[in-house]
Amino acid sequence: MARLDHLQRLEAESIHILREVVAECEKPVMLYSIGKDSSVMLRLALKAFAPAKPPFPLLQIATGWDFREMLEFRDATAARHGLELLVHTNEEGVRAGVKPWSHGTAYADLMLTQALRQALDQYGFDAAFGGGRRDEEKSRAKERIFSFRSAQHRWDPKNQRPELWQLYNTRKNPGESIRVFPLSNWTELDVWQYIHVHNVPIVPLYLAKPRPVVRRGGRLLMVDDDRLPLGPEDRIETLSVRFRTLGCYPLTGADESTADTLPLVIREMLLARSSERQGRMVDHDGAASMERKKQEGYF
């Protein structure tokens, strides 16, 4: 038999990580953000536990500003695999009228970070899988695969446990929980490649198609429905666009593109000269901002 190629090795490593958590933790959950990384992570979980179903629920943090197509995709995916799906929204944030375009950083904190913490506390999950990759961002590049959080969900980057070979120490102190990143060693290209080779379903928003957009501060925002306030100067155009990364629609910029098939998307990605998260405003304030967010409990 031929030597394993790198995608086979990455797949095997991720499956090993998923199984180790199920074997050693009491109440795991999978953070399911509906994006391409979550799609791959879910596929790996289905493979890890087949013919059984993955023995944990999916958790999605809904902000109320999610793309409609993402929510449809989410519900269809959970139904197709017969998986338990938990959806949590920070209701305090909703009541306080927190809006993505008017509350900036506070929005991300309340509707993503705080919402995630609420959900983990409410259900008492002791381990949560996330689709984060080390190639995404500098502080992620430093993070362990099994990353511990204090009872306050804080990450202490200066005091991470050694992590040797494929031996993961999953023992927690009271109140601690673990964020586990099975895709730590995957790159963006690996994820696309895997989706391509294994026909992993993804949200259609990743593929180009004519969509209604407005221009805001150099970004193209999709007019997903009438919740996006439009000013007199806003002009809705229909352009062929797609998304490199998916978050809340008022914060996620679209790219003009004609890449309407996976190979074309991959081609575009290979030729692209700007990194993935640039499309997301959330990650964009200051060099150490992701590290700070992570310390506060952001995934």
Partner 1 sequence: MVLSAAATLDDIEEYLDRHAHKGLLRFITCGSVDDGKSSLIGRLLHESKMIFEDQLATLEDDSRRVGTRGAELDYALVVDGLAAEREQGITIDVAYRFFSTDKRKFIVADTPGHEQYTRNMVTGASTADLAVILIDARKGVLTQTRRHSYVVSLLGIRHVVLAVNKMDLVDYAQDVFADIERDYREFARRIDLEAITCIPVSAVAGDNVVARSERMPWYRGPALLEHLESVPLADESAGRAFRMPVQWVNRPNADFRGFAGLIASGSIRSGDAVRVLPSGRSSTVARILLGDAEIPEAVAAQSVTLTLTDEIDVSRGDVLCAAGAPPGVANQFEATIIWMHDEALLQGRTYLLKIGAKTVNATVAPIKYRVNVNTLEHLAAKKLELNDIGVCGIELSSPVVFEPYDDSRVLGGFILIDRFTNNTVGAGLLHFALRRSQNVHWQALDVNKRARAQLSHQKPCILWFTGLSGAGKSTIANLVEKQLHADGRHTYLLDGDNVRHGLNKDLGFTDEDRVENIRRVAEVACLMVDAGLIVMVSFISPFRSERRMARNLVETDEFIEVFVDTSLAAAEARDVKGLYKKARRGELKNFTGIDSPYEAPETPEIHLDTALLAPEAAASQVIAHLREAGIIDAFTGGAGLTWEI
Site residues (CB under 8 A) for partner 1? Answer: 1, 3-9, 11-13, 15-16, 19-20, 22-23, 46-53, 134-135, 137-142, 144, 157-158, 160-167, 169, 171-173, 184-185, 187, 189, 193, 196-197, 263-264, 266-267, 270-275, 278, 287-288, 291-292
Between 4 and 236, whose beta carbon lies closer to partner 1?
4
Rounded least distance, CB 133 to partner 1, Å: 9
Between 118 and 185, whose beta carbon lies closer to partner 1?
185
Rounded least distance, CB 75 to partner 1, Å: 23
Between 109 and 137, whose beta carbon lies closer to partner 1?
137
Between 14 and 33, whose beta carbon lies closer to partner 1?
14
Between 122 and 275, whose beta carbon lies closer to partner 1?
275
Interatomic CA distance for residues 62 and 60, integer angstroms: 6
Compute CA distances 164 → 9, 146, 167, 256, whole Å: 17, 11, 6, 44
Between 8 and 105, whose beta carbon lies closer to partner 1?
8
Rounded least distance, CB 165 to partner 1, Å: 5
β-strand partners of 58 = 30, 85
CA distance between the termini of the chain: 39
What DSSP designation does 134 have? T
Rounded least distance, CB 172 to partner 1, Å: 7
Q: What does 167-190 look like in DSSP terms, one character per residue?
A: -------TT-EEEE-TTTT--HHH
Taking 3-state DSSP, the helix, strand and coil percentages for the chain, each rounded to the nearest 5, stand at 40, 15, 45
What DSSP designation does 248 have? B
Rounded least distance, CB 179 to partner 1, Å: 16
Interatomic CA distance for residues 60 and 204, integer angstroms: 18
Cα Rg, the chain, nearest whole Å = 19
- Which token pair is 30? 């999978």
Rounded least distance, CB 46 to partner 1, Å: 7
